[in-house]
Each structure stands twice: as structure tokens, then as C-alpha cells.
């Protein structure tokens, strides 16, 4: 076996076998790598705690000088979700950058003697934890990317619907967005002398054949392979009607309207729902009966109730 002679101070000859030298070099690299990972992970965790604490504090302090006058805009909750995902994505990307910079500095300029006495299994565990954290970060970033892409389409569909509803401002009509009730949130509610309409938006990307039809409470998208029930929208409308009845003291009818932006309406066979797209949404004003009409005082009372519910900085 070949022996390598090494000269050390004070002058002495040491005989080191190549296998032993390789093991020692491997351990030195492991120590340097693990030490840099430990320092970078600790620094990144502190950074995350500071950022998350600041975001929580800023969110709790969010307010307005005019809390009773700023109403929710069309698709407000989707705007908020998109902003939240954007902040989360920025935190992950910034944390990855912080980790990379600190790791690089710590690896190139390692602190002397701090991690030399650690057993090898602890060094390996640190590296494994780093791999797990990196994998989770990459997976979460991928999830956020997919969610933001889908949410962007939902946001656009709801904004298109909300803007189209601005045409219905006659007869003391007012449009309210993201209206909460006891069984969920209604995308839009129109209240006027000629009746009340609860508009639910179903956002789905149309294909080459963009026909949609409604039969009963089943909405089917062409070519007929995808169907879904809209009964949930009917439940929300019925619940809102019950809440209005308690307010005005008599029966109030809330019409349930289904909007499918980007789709062409093929046919409709339903007395309980009206299906429209963002271009012909104004036709819902013609879907009414004599018993749908409201008195001025009823309209004012209902609009006042919804104004309190739909202020952006009001009580959640």
C-alpha cells in the first residue's frame, strides 16, 4: 500500500494513507456544507418570523379614514386572495434568496471550529432537513403559481360581470358585491323597485365549442361531458330572501341568476334560474313578475342593510 508523507510543524514526518486522507477530506467538506446550511437555515427562519410577524401586524392595523363609505368592488374577495398569494410567493422567493446568499458566504468563509466537534449523523440530519425545506418551498411555489393562474381567470370573469351590472342602475337599482349571508357569499346582488336578483358567477374557461345550457338546476357545458348543479346558488338566494323578510315584515322574492362569462347560452329549461353571460346580463331586468315589485321603503331598508354588510372595512 502506498504511503504519503506529510510534513507538519513542529517538524515531523507523518505517514497518511490515501484512504484515510479521503475520509478526512470528505468529513471536512461535510462539516463545511452542514455548517453553512445550519447558519443559512437559522438566518432564514429568523427572517421568516420577522416578515410574518410584520404582515400579521400590518393586517391587524389595516383600516380606512372612511370605513363606512368604501364599498367592496366587483370580485373584491378574489382581488384580496390574489394579493395574499402574491405576498406569500414573494416571501418564499425572498427567503430562498436570503438562504442562498447566506449559505454561499458561510461556505466560502466558514467559521473556524464551531461545527468541528459535531457527530457525523447530526451533520447529515441538517443536510436532510435542508433538502426537505427546499422541496417543500419548491412544491409550495408551484401550488401558488397554479392557484394564481386559475384565480386570475376567476377574477377577470367576476370583474366582467360586475362591470356589466353597472348598466342596471335605473329604478333605484343598486349593485352590491360579495354579499355575505348565513349560507355563504353571493357574488352580486341587485336591489331595485322591480325586484331583487342574486347573481352567481361560474368561471370556467370556454373551449372551441363554448355552448352552455341549463335544464332544471343542472348546468351543462358543451360538448356535454361536464355538468354541475346550481342548487347551491338557489339556497343562497332563498336564505337571503328569508333575511329580507325578517327585515321588511313580508315575503320578498330573490331571483337566482347564473352568469357564465365567455359562454354562449344554448338553451334554458328552468323556472327557478336564469342563465346569462356577461354580454346579455342586462336582460335579467326583464325576468320579473308583479309580485317581485317592491315599495320604496322596502328598497331603502334592504339597501341600507346590504350597505352595512358590504363595506370593505366594516365588521367581517
Q: pLDDT digit of tens for each residue in the chain (316 aa)? A: 444 444 444 444 444 445 444 545 555 677 778 888 888 999 999 999 999 999 888 888 877 888 878 889 999 999 999 999 999 999 999 999 999 999 998 888 877 766 667 677 787 888 888 899 999 999 999 999 999 999 999 999 999 999 999 888 877 899 999 999 999 999 999 999 999 999 999 999 988 889 999 999 999 998 777 899 999 999 999 999 999 999 999 999 999 999 999 999 988 888 899 999 999 998 888 888 888 999 999 999 999 999 999 998 865 5
Phi, psi of 28 (to 5 degrees): -60, -45
Asked if residue 107 and residue 52 are part of one domain, the reply reads yes
* End residue of a domain, out of 121, 136, 162: 162
Asked if residue 138 and residue 211 are part of one domain, the reply reads no
pTM of the complete model: 0.81
11 grid coordinates: 517538524
Cα separations (Å) of 221 from 211, 224, 239, 270? 6, 6, 27, 16
The pLDDT, as a whole number, for residue 285 is 83
Structural domain includes residue 275: yes
Structural domain includes residue 315: no
- Dist CA 28 CA 16 (whole Å): 16
CB 182 within 8 A of CB 197: no
Asked if residue 104 and residue 181 are part of one domain, the reply reads no
Asked if residue 184 and residue 149 are part of one domain, the reply reads no
The helix (H) or strand (E) run that includes residue 210 is: none
The pLDDT, as a whole number, for residue 89 is 95
Structural domain includes residue 252: yes
Structural domain includes residue 316: no
Asked if residue 75 and residue 216 are part of one domain, the reply reads no
Asked if residue 202 and residue 153 are part of one domain, the reply reads no
Asked if residue 74 and residue 118 are part of one domain, the reply reads yes
Structural domain includes residue 314: no
Which residue, chain included where needed, has cell 437555515? 41
Structural domain includes residue 141: yes
* End residue of a domain, out of 140, 162, 184: 162
Asked if residue 188 and residue 282 are part of one domain, the reply reads yes
Asked if residue 156 and residue 23 are part of one domain, the reply reads yes
The pLDDT, as a whole number, for residue 22 is 57
The pLDDT, as a whole number, for residue 1 is 47
- Dist CA 75 CA 79 (whole Å): 6
**Count of domains forming the chain:** 2
295: exposed, middle or buried (C-beta count within 10 Å: 0-12, 13-18, 19+)? exposed
The range of the structural domain enclosing residue 108 comes to 4-162
- Dist CA 76 CA 69 (whole Å): 15
Three-state DSSP state, 186: strand
Structural domain includes residue 59: yes
- Dist CA 259 CA 308 (whole Å): 25
The pLDDT, as a whole number, for residue 286 is 85
- Dist CA 164 CA 91 (whole Å): 36
* End residue of a domain, out of 127, 162, 197: 162
Sign for the CA dihedral angle at 285, 287, 293, 297 comes to negative
Asked if residue 121 and residue 95 are part of one domain, the reply reads yes
The pLDDT, as a whole number, for residue 63 is 79
- Dist CA 132 CA 312 (whole Å): 40
- Dist CA 256 CA 234 (whole Å): 6
The pLDDT, as a whole number, for residue 303 is 95
CB 161 within 8 A of CB 259: yes
Asked if residue 191 and residue 143 are part of one domain, the reply reads no
Structural domain includes residue 191: yes
The pLDDT, as a whole number, for residue 107 is 85
Asked if residue 293 and residue 180 are part of one domain, the reply reads yes
46: exposed, middle or buried (C-beta count within 10 Å: 0-12, 13-18, 19+)? exposed
Amino acid at each position: 500500500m502506498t504511503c504519503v508523507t506529510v510534513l507538519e510543524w513542529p517538524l515531523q514526518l507523518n505517514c497518511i494513507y490515501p484512504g484515510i486522507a479521503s475520509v478526512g477530506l470528505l468529513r471536512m467538506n461535510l462539516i463545511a456544507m452542514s455548517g453553512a446550511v445550519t447558519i443559512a437555515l437559522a438566518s432564514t427562519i429568523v427572517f421568516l418570523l420577522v416578515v410574518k410577524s410584520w404582515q400579521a401586524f400590518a393586517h391587524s392595523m389595516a383600516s380606512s379614514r372612511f370605513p363606512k363609505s368604501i364599498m367592496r368592488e366587483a370580485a373584491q374577495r378574489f382581488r384580496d386572495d390574489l394579493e395574499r398569494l402574491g405576498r406569500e410567493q414573494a416571501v418564499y422567493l425572498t427567503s430562498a434568496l436570503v438562504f442562498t446568499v447566506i449559505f454561499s458566504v458561510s461556505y466560502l468563509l466558514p467559521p473556524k471550529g464551531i461545527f468541528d466537534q459535531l457527530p457525523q449523523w447530526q451533520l447529515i440530519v441538517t443536510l436532510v432537513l435542508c433538502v426537505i425545506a427546499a422541496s417543500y418551498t419548491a412544491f409550495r411555489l408551484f401550488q401558488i403559481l397554479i392557484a394564481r393562474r386559475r384565480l386570475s381567470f376567476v377574477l377577470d370573469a367576476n370583474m366582467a360581470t360586475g362591470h356589466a351590472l353597472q348598466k342596471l342602475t335605473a329604478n333605484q337599482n343598486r349593485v352590491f358585491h360579495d354579499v355575505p349571508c348565513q349560507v355563504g357569499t353571493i357574488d352580486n346582488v341587485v336591489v331595485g323597485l322591480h325586484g331583487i336578483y342574486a347573481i352567481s358567477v361560474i368561471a370556467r374557461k370556454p373551449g372551441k365549442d363554448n355552448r352552455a345550457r341549463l335544464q332544471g338546476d343542472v348546468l351543462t357545458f358543451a360538448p356535454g361531458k361536464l355538468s354541475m348543479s346550481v342548487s347551491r346558488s338557489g339556497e343562497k338566494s332563498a336564505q337571503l330572501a328569508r333575511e329580507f323578510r325578517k327585515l321588511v315584515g313580508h315575503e320578498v322574492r330573490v331571483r337566482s341568476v347564473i352568469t357564465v362569462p365567455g359562454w354562449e347560452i344554448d338553451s334554458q329549461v328552468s323556472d327557478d334560474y336564469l342563465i346569462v353571460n356577461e354580454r346579455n346580463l342586462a336582460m335579467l331586468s326583464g325576468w320579473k313578475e308583479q309580485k317581485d315589485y317592491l315599495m320604496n321603503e322596502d328598497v331603502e331598508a334592504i339597501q341600507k342593510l346590504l350597505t352595512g354588510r358590504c363595506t370593505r372595512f366594516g365588521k367581517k
